[in-house]
Amino acid sequence: MYLVIPLLACIVIFATGWILVDSIYSWMAVSLTMIYVVLQVSSEKRHQEKEKNLNIESTTDALTGLLNRRAYEDVLTNLEKNGHVGVVYCDVNRLKYCNDHFGHSAGDELLKDFAGVLNQVYKKQEIFRISGDEFVVVCADNHEAFEEKFATLEKLVDAFDYRIASLGKACGDAANFEDICHRAEEQMYEDKQAYYKKYPEENRRN
């Protein structure tokens, strides 16, 4: 519409023989100003959308679509120190075995399978892939809800032909977040050792 106004102004000038030229110049000035504003707003929106997409790309794991370690570190930095928080540490089992025997594409599928398991239980903004085979969940559920979700996660993990991941959990006051993370990670390592006892050939240290 704004592009049509100058054209109409030119038609009116030609038809009236410059009688309304002052008014028409004013219309054209207003029209051009409006065009400039519209273009500026459109440019700003495109810039904001580009920034948003770049931020999403920088905090998203390309393979699984989950949040990555950078996003996890941002959460730790901005975590509210009051209220309840639960942490689940996960380490995917048999990843090296899959990579060595079936190729890295098979290992990638294994990681995506486990990411799908986590997505069935937790919200996307709560799940982070922090390294090759390690995942962390950080959620603000109360104790009862946290335990129920973890029980569901264990059932899904055990539904595979083998235990697809070793798990550890801890929850408590968010002010003690570092201690909660440490307890969850230690429990995950204990679960991993139990897995290696069952499948000693998969222990990288052997």
Q: How many residues does the chain have?
A: 206
* Count of domains observed in the chain: 2
30 and 118 assigned to the same domain: no
Residue 202 pLDDT grade (very low, low, confident, very high; cuts 50, 70, 90): confident
Residue 15: per-residue pLDDT: 63
Q: What is the pLDDT of residue 178?
A: 93
Instruction: Specify whether 35 is located in the same domain as 84.
Output: no
Q: Which residues partner with 89 through β-bridges? A: 136, 168
What's the confidence (pLDDT) of residue 40?
73
Tell me, what's the pLDDT at 203? 80
The pLDDT confidence band at residue 34, using thresholds 50, 70 and 90, is confident
139 assigned to some structural domain: yes
Q: Model confidence at 20, in pLDDT bands (50, 70, 90)?
A: low
Instruction: Let me know if residue 63 belongs to a domain.
Output: no
Banded pLDDT at 201 (limits 50, 70, 90): confident
Give the range of the structural domain holding residue 42, as residue numbers without chain letter. Answer: 4-58
Q: Are 92 and 106 in contact (CB under 8 A)?
A: no
State the CB neighbour count (10 A cutoff) for residue 150.
20
Q: 98 near 161, Cβ under 8 Å?
A: no
Taking the C-alpha atoms of residue 60 and residue 158, their distance in angstroms, rounded to an integer, is 27
CA atoms of 95 and 86, how far apart (whole Å): 26
Distance from C-alpha of 122 to C-alpha of 107, rounded to nearest angstrom: 23
Domain assignment present for 64: no
Residue 27 lies in a domain: yes
Q: Are residues 37 and 107 in the same domain?
A: no
pLDDT in tens, 90-115: 999 999 999 999 999 999 999 999 99
Q: Are 81 and 35 within one domain? A: no
Summary mean pLDDT of the chain: 85
Are residue 84 and residue 174 in the same domain, yes or no? yes
Q: Identify whether residues 8 and 105 lie together within a single domain.
A: no
The answer to whether position 195 is within a domain reads yes
69 — pLDDT class (breaks 50, 70, 90): very high
Residue 22 amino acid letter = D
pLDDT band at 61 (very low <50, low <70, confident <90, very high): very high
- Which of 32, 58, 84 terminates a domain? The answer is 58
Looking at the fold, whether 197 and 167 belong to one and the same domain comes out as yes
Statement: residue 25 has pLDDT above 70:
no
- Give residue-wise pLDDT tens across range 110-135: 999 999 999 999 999 999 999 999 99
Q: In terms of domains, do 146 and 176 share one?
A: yes
Percent of the chain's residues with pLDDT above 70: 75
Q: How confident is the model at residue 12 (pLDDT cuts 50, 70, 90)?
A: low
The domain that holds 165 is classified in CATH as 3.30.70.270
Residue 164 vs residue 30, higher pLDDT: 164
Contact status, residue 136 vs residue 115, Cβ threshold 8 Å: no
Q: What pLDDT does 190 receive?
A: 97
